[in-house]
Amino acid sequence: MGRRLLLLGPPGAGKGTQAELLATAVGIPHVSTGVMLREAVAAGTDLGRQVEAVMASGELVTDDLMVKVVEDRLAKEDAACGYLLDGFPRTVPQADALGDGAIDAVVLIEVGDEEIVSRLLQRAAEEGRTDDTEDVVRRRLEVYREQTEPLVDYYRGRGLLRDVDGVGDVDEVLARIVGVLARNGAGTP
């Protein structure tokens, strides 16, 4: 128990980086729906073709499709002893579909709006994501506020949420995450 974790936070909060480091430290698979979908797009699979345009616009893929993708992933053997979810659930219906019993702790990485927009634009430039224009970046943030942020209260109300300040060095933020998880025994076997 205690090894089924979820990282929550706005796009550009450093979630992906932290999720990768934390999953390695805890010894659980990093389940990132963004990575899975981008791989599907790159490989030109049916799934990739279905989600490509929606992803490029900054909107969300449908709940039904995402629930199916994640159910299939969590049914794999490596997820039997725990997992770190990154990018899912992204809406209340997705959280309902996952069920409370599937999560031991939720870490919210907090970063202010202006910091996020500047980080996202920098990332878009670095990674050559030329379609990540300022409009799309701002839309991603709006979508987060409208559809994903309600999950903060959803999980806080269930006593699962831990807040972490996401401003600082990668190592510093990772140490904060490990610290809040250790405090309630999550992230340990």
Residues marked as catalytic: 15, 90, 123, 129, 140
Instruction: Using CB under 6 A, list all residues that contact ligand AMP.
Output: 11, 33-34, 37, 54-55, 58, 60-61, 66, 87-88, 90, 94, 140
Between residues 151 and 164, which has the closer beta carbon with respect to ligand AMP? 151
Backbone angles phi, psi at 158, to 5 degrees: -95, 5
Asked if omega into 93 is within 30° of 0 (cis), the reply is no
Measured distance between the N- and C-terminal CA atoms of the chain, rounded to whole angstroms:
6
Minimum Å gap between C-beta 106 and ligand AMP is: 14
- Kindly state the smallest distance separating residue 64's Cβ from ligand AMP, in Å: 10
Q: Which is nearer to ligand AMP, 2 or 54 (CB)?
A: 54
Closest residue to ligand AMP: CB criterion: 34
Shortest Å distance, C-beta 40 to ligand AMP: 10
By three-state DSSP, how is residue 162 classified?
A: strand
- State the nearest-atom distance from the C-beta of 147 to ligand AMP, in Å: 8
> What letter represents residue 8's amino acid?
L
Instruction: Specify the amino acid at residue 153.
Output: D
**Closer to ligand AMP at the Cβ: 61 or 180?**
61
Q: Are 109 and 18 in contact (CB under 8 A)?
A: yes
Q: Select 135 or 175, whichever has its Cβ closest to ligand AMP.
A: 135
Cα–Cα distance between 116 and 136 in angstroms, integer?
A: 13
Residues 6+ apart with CB under 8 A from 47: 37, 40, 65, 69
